[in-house]
Amino acid sequence: MGLAKTEMFTDKQNQIAVFAKVFGHPARVAILQHLFKTDSCFCGNLVDEIGLAQPTISQHLKELKYLGLIKGNVEGTSVCYCIDKENWTAMKEVMSDFLDQDLPADDDCC
């Protein structure tokens, strides 16, 4: 069906999945890493840096922006993107809760 039955999961579980999903494509990982490395940069630079077509990069940027992980600032004809620090920190909190769960003691079944 290709459709996640989100209504049967907790808000937290869905939230983790939504964040994880956006990191589930190497282009978006590369975009974010580049924004971290350069502090901020224009859409066009990302098109050059990553080897995908401009509409494709624009689409990935849109998803990152929709989740609030990046912000875009219009400057003339170009748009400058950067990490949304506040939301990135909030996202990390959610993901850490999930990833840093206590590992069970050594008496498990496997």
Residue numbers of the site for a copy of itself (CB under 8 A)?
Answer: 4-6, 8-10, 13-14, 16-18, 20-30, 32-33, 36, 39-40, 50-52, 71-73, 75, 80-85, 88-89, 91-92, 95-96, 98-105, 107-110
Instruction: In angstroms, give the least distance from the CB of 75 to DNA.
Output: 8
CB-based burial label for 58 (10 Å; 0-12, 13-18, 19+)? middle
Q: Which does 63 bind (CB under 5 to 8 A by kind): DNA, a copy of itself, none?
A: DNA
Q: Which does 87 bind (CB under 5 to 8 A by kind): DNA, a copy of itself, none?
A: none
> Positive or negative, the Cα torsion across 52, 56, 61, 63?
negative
DSSP 8-state class, residue 38: H
DSSP 8-state class, residue 21: H
